[in-house]
């Protein structure tokens, strides 16, 4: 009997940045001094995904600069973030090489963020069950019961996996996943430098949406939102993920994954070159590859 189809979608930038900061203190480098902390953590995450999720389809998406569309809408979009550390930037080529050797489809699109590529895949790749691996809260708006879409926070050996399904989203936010953009359009999103309505936080915004059902009714009836319609509507355009900002020329069939279809010599040569011998041992002993 063939196993049920499952698509794992990985937010590559989120994983790489988390890996960089997690391993920064260890100062991982290759023998010739190339920083490898982000690469190391990314490979560990890939191994965990294959081991614990065992997807039939797998794709990693990456940012290629800030969103062209959102920056045109809001010049200060993500303006509060520091530039990506140079030692991480140079490791993306290495991450690409590893994924290619491992037989994993990976993709980026100029002026498009991984968020939008993920949303495009979720919305357009049919009813296959999907799990999104990311630590980014924005992705929780894509959670769904039908078709089944969940969000899995990056897997760690130290903590139990955190899975965001519809029930968890409702429990945490008070509204279903598809209403999260409406909540955030009121309270803003500080992580992306999107300002909300003054003196209304996430809990207050959630209560407003719960009370009125949707943002349109809330704008008509809620006194606290009077005079803020333009701000809220702009925020919604910035926050809502429907995949329309991405073209995504690859298909679901391009993302079929077979953990055994790779060149072992290329893999081991790559890990040797960048002095990641502990991972080579892990790859061999866990029997993933």
Question: Do the domains 172-239 and 6-164+247-277 match in fold?
Answer: no
Confidence check: pLDDT of 136 > 50: yes
What integer pLDDT is reported at residue 206 of this predicted model?
Answer: 99
Confidence check: pLDDT of 288 > 60: no
Host H or E run for residue 163: strand 163-164
Within 10 angstroms of residue 240's Cβ, the number of other Cβ atoms is 17
Let me know: does 3 contact 56? Beta carbons within 8 Å. yes
What integer pLDDT is reported at residue 250 of this predicted model?
Answer: 97
For residue 2, name the pLDDT band (cuts at 50, 70, 90).
low
Q: Is 80 exposed, middle or buried (0-12, 13-18, 19+ CB in 10 A)?
A: exposed
Non-local CB neighbours of 45 within 8 Å, separated by 6+ positions: 10, 15, 19, 133, 154, 155
Within 10 angstroms of residue 250's Cβ, the number of other Cβ atoms is 16
For residue 256, name the pLDDT band (cuts at 50, 70, 90).
very high
Let me know: does 11 contact 17? Beta carbons within 8 Å. no
Q: What is the mean pLDDT of residues 124-132?
A: 97
What integer pLDDT is reported at residue 58 of this predicted model?
Answer: 98
Do you know the residue count of the chain?
289
Non-local CB neighbours of 265 within 8 Å, separated by 6+ positions: none
Cα distance between residue 227 and residue 106, in whole Å:
44
Cα distance between residue 205 and residue 209, in whole Å:
6
For residue 289, name the pLDDT band (cuts at 50, 70, 90).
very low
- Cα 175 to Cα 57, 151, 211, 233: the distances in Å are 30, 16, 11, 19
Let me know: does 39 contact 98? Beta carbons within 8 Å. yes
The full set of domain ranges for the chain reads 6-164+247-277, 172-239
Name the more confident of 236 and 264: 236
What integer pLDDT is reported at residue 92 of this predicted model?
Answer: 97
What integer pLDDT is reported at residue 260 of this predicted model?
Answer: 82
Let me know: does 140 contact 175? Beta carbons within 8 Å. no
Let me know: does 225 contact 218? Beta carbons within 8 Å. yes
- Tell me the range of 31-40, 60-69, 109-118 where mean pLDDT is highest: 109-118
Superfamily of domain 6-164+247-277: 5'-nuclease (3.40.50.1010)
Fold of 172-239: DNA polymerase; domain 1 (1.10.150)
Q: What is the mean pLDDT of residues 147-166?
A: 90
Q: What is the mean pLDDT of residues 73-94?
A: 86
pLDDT in tens, 12-35: 999 999 999 998 888 899 989 999
What integer pLDDT is reported at residue 281 of this predicted model?
Answer: 66
Determine what percent of the chain is predicted with pLDDT higher than 70.
Answer: 96
Q: What is the mean pLDDT of residues 45-59?
A: 94
* Residue closest to 66 by CA, chosen among 29, 112, 14: 112
């Amino acid at each position: 009997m063939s196993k049920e189809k499952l698509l794992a979608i990985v937010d590559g930038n989120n994983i790489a940045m988390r890996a960089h900061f997690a391993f920064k203190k260890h100062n991982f480098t290759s023998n010739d001094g190339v920083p490898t902390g982000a690469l190391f953590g990314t490979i560990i995450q890939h191994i965990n995904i294959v081991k614990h999720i065992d997807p039939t389809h797998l794709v990693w998406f990456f940012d290629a600069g800030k969103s062209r569309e959102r920056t045109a809408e809001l010049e200060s979009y993500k303006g509060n973030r520091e530039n990506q550390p140079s030692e991480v930037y140079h490791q993306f080529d290495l991450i690409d090489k590893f994924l290619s050797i491992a037989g994993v489809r990976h993709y980026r699109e100029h002026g498009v963020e991984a968020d939008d590529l993920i949303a495009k895949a979720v919305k357009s790749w049919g009813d296959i069950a999907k799990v999104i691996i990311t630590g980014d809260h924005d992705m929780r708006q894509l959670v769904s019961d039908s078709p089944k879409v969940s969000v899995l926070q990056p897997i760690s050996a130290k903590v139990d996996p955190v899975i965001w399904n519809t029930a968890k989203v409702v429990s945490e936010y008070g509204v279903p996943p598809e209403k999260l953009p409406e909540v955030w359009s009121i309270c803003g999103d500080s992580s992306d430098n999107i300002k909300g309505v003054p003196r209304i936080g996430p809990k207050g915004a959630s209560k407003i949406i719960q009370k009125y059902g949707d943002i349109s009714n809330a704008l008509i009836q809620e006194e606290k939102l009077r005079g803020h319609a333009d701000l809220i509507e702009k925020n919604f355009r910035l926050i809502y993920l429907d995949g329309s900002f991405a073209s995504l020329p690859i298909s679901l069939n391009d993302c079929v994954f077979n953990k055994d279809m790779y060149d072992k010599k290329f893999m081991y040569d790559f890990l040797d070159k960048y002095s990641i011998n502990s991972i080579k041992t892990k790859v061999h002993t866990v029997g993933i590859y």
